[in-house]
Structure 1
Amino acid sequence: MSRYALWAVTWALIVLVLLMSPAVVVAEALKTGLQPALASLSDPDAQAAIWLTLEVTAVSVLVNTLFGILAAWVLTKYRFPGRSALLVLVELPLSISPVVSGLVWLLLFGAQGWWGSVLEQAGIHIAFAVPGIMLATIFVTLPYVVRTLVPLMEQQGRDAEEAAMLAGAGFWNILWRVTLPGARVALFSGILLTTARAMGEFGAVSVVSGHIPGMTETMPLHIESLYNGYQTVAAFSMAALLAGMAMMAVLLRSVPERLARRKEAQA
């Protein structure tokens, strides 16, 4: 097969599988015009879903970025018993169905769960509330920063860190001034992958949220509610906004890589 045939097949698959879906979503959202689409996004329940999605995404990205940096450091700079098991556990959310992880949180924090009744008596609500949504989203997005940092940190080796340690630098100084500057492209990529995944999470959040409009509905859940209620324009308008946000996060991944290549070319 010639390179032109491969090029044609590749672009055909991209158009059919990747580009057609968002194009259809946007077309359905604008089927009755731009004004109805924008009006549906200004609905109070839609606004609440957008803000909740942004809030959950921000918390998930912050927590998993900090965890990912520290976990990647431990996994690449040290050799210890159980390291392989820890790597497997870090990747566990990638292999478990999000619905199953949502059910686990219900088992732990639901009204009939292990700790649910105790927490309810203390006035702490996790299941069917925002904290449960955050926990579920943090769980499903946990591996991305770790998995993008680990290969690069392993490639870096330990020479620079050991030299800084001999010079008297502490752990945090070594981490922020020696290790992470060389891994910023991988870190940025992991953060953006976490962002896109957190915004679009449906399965785990659907189980623990309770689908309360205006309170525990994120954008994906609100889309489902609108579509099931035959509000197709509103559903596709929200879907178009969510797809655009996620695609923007993914497209931004290429910016640091291009800048790094440009610097290398100029050097």
Structure 2
Amino acid sequence: MDSSPWVRRTLRAVVVVYLVLLVGWPVSLVAKNAFADGLETFQRAFADPSVLFALQLTAAVAVQVVLLSTVFGVGISLLVVRYDFPGKALLNALLDLPLSVSPIVVGLALVLVYGKNGWFGGALEEAGFRVIFAPPGIVLATAFVCLPLVIREIVPVLTELGTDEELAATSLGASRFQTFRRITLPAIKWAVVYGVVLTLARALGEFGAVKVVSGNFEGRTQTSTLLVEQRYQDFEQGTAYAVAFLLASVSVACIVAVTLLRSDAAPARRPARPATRPATPSEADA
């Protein structure tokens, strides 16, 4: 749709102002307060054992969630795109559930299932495996929230890819694993990378579901986001700003990485232009 230059400039200005007020300004204030006393704030914060534990726990949870989301995300994507089965529409709807349900509700649901008085929690605790108020519960809650990110990156690519190359490989004697490793995986590798980076950023910043299932015990189940909230409420705002700035920096780095990867991979994903057939002498004379 054509529009006059002033309309385009006005729309761009409105979008820029909106993003600055909603995202840029608040994040810049966090950075400003984090560096208000120079690097001394970071030195004090990272000398605190509770802060170091929270960062280590957050990193460990994020790595586990990324691994789970990658393995199951690729598997579920192949199932949804390549196979037809009863309940497929319901499964597709359930995959989007984490995007529409409040993380608090997710945490409460996990407590009802894996808590001490839940369906499986009592039996698991008797076997010596605790889920709620322990790191496994944090991993489960974060994995639930991050579930759609890898899948929704891979499914469109698999749909566009089709099955011609996979069927050709199978007809030539390739096994299912060989077909996946040599045909499917190279075709979806960039989608997997995007999903992994987005999952990592989401896992590092999860708060609501984690707060419900972790109990927020300092030095035991307190992640970085929970520590930021507690320290801010306890008027230890320097530590809160320092950790918040670190988390925001990692998230921004993930977004920049995704942007650069998309721009680098875009030419490779564009379909090649069909080769032109040389003209015959009769066509050239004509």
The answer to which of 14-23 and 96-105 deviates more is: 14-23
Q: How does 1:130-149 map to 2 (within 5 A)?
A: 130-149=135-154
User: By how many angstroms is 1:260 displaced?
Assistant: 2.3
- State yes or no: 1:199 paired with 2:204: yes
| Partner residue in 1 for 2:276 | none
Q: Structure 1 pair 261/113, CA: closer, same or farther in 2 (3 Å)?
A: closer
Query: Aligned runs of 1:8-27 on 2, under 5 Å?
Result: 8-27=13-32
Q: What SS does the corresponding residue of 2:98 show, helix, strand or coil?
A: helix
C-alpha offsets along residues 18-41 of structure 1, whole Å, 9 cap, x if unaligned? 211211001111222221233212
Contact (CA 8 Å) 2:33, 2:238: kept in 1 or not? yes
Q: Which amino acid aligns with 2:39?
A: L
Shift of 1:109: 1.9
Whole-angstrom CA distance in 1 between matches of 2:247 and 2:143: 19
> 1: CA distance between counterparts of 2:202 and 2:265?
25
1:81 Cα offset (Å) = 1.9
**Equivalent of 1:55, from 38, 52, 60?**
60
Quote the offset at 1:262 in angstroms: 5.4
Alpha-carbon deviation of 1:179?
1.2
Q: TM-score, normalised by structure 2?
A: 0.89
Aligned to 1:34: 39
Question: Higher relative CO (CA 8 A, sep ≥ 6), structure 1 or 2?
Answer: 1
Bigger Cα displacement from structure 2, 221-230 vs 247-256: 247-256
Counterpart of 1:209, as a letter, is S
CA distance 1:264–1:198, shift in 2 (3 Å): closer
Deviations 1:57-85 (A, max 9, x none): 00001011011111111111122221111
2:167 paired residue number:
162
Within the candidate set 128, 132, 138, 1:123 is matched to: 128
8 Å contact from structure 2 (residues 50, 219) kept in 1? yes
Which residue identity does 2:110 align to in structure 1? W
Aligned to 1:247: 252
Structure 1 residue 178: deviation in Å?
A: 0.6
- For the pair 1:79 / 2:84, whether they are aligned, the reply is yes
> Counterpart amino acid of 2:167?
E
Counterpart-to-counterpart distance in 1, 2:181 and 2:260 = 22
SS at match of 1:216: coil
1:230-267 CA distance string (max 9 Å, x none): 101110111000111111112111222222245689x9
Q: How many residues are treated as equivalent by the alignment?
A: 266
| Per-residue deviation, 1:185 | 1.8
Matched residue, 2:284 = none
From 64, 74, 87, the equivalent of 1:69 is 74
Match of 2:157 in 1: 152
Residue 114 of structure 1: how far off its partner (Å): 2.4
2:247 is matched by which residue type in structure 1?
L
What TM-score do the two structures reach when normalised by structure 1?
A: 0.95
- The offset of 1:132, in angstroms, is 0.7
**Alpha-carbon distance between aligned partners in 1 of 2:68 and 2:247, rounded to the nearest angstrom:** 22
* 1:165 to partner: Cα distance: 0.8
Out of 189-198 and 248-257, give the one that drifted further.
248-257
1:257 corresponds to which letter in structure 2? R
Which stretches in structure 2 are left out of the alignment for 5+ residues?
Answer: 1-5, 273-286
Structure 2 residue identity aligned to 1:125: R
One-letter identity of the residue aligned with 2:221: T
Between 187-196 and 112-121, report the one with greater CA deviation. Answer: 112-121
Aligned match of 2:12 in 7, 28, 32?
Answer: 7
Fraction of identical pairs, as percent: 38
Query: Quick one: distance in 2 between partners of 1:49 and 1:150?
Result: 34
Q: Indicate the residue corresponding to 1:44 in structure 2.
A: 49
Structure 1 unaligned spans of 5+: none
1:234 lines up with 2:242 in the alignment: no
- Cα distance change on mapping 1:100 and 1:261 into 2, 3 Å: closer
Against the structure 1 CA distance between its residues 162 and 58, is the aligned structure 2 distance closer, same or farther, given a 3 Å change threshold? Answer: same
- State how far apart, in whole Å, the 1-side matches of 2:64 and 2:255 are: 19
Which entry has the higher C-alpha Rg, 1 or 2? 2
Structure 1 residue matching 2:36: 3-state secondary structure: coil
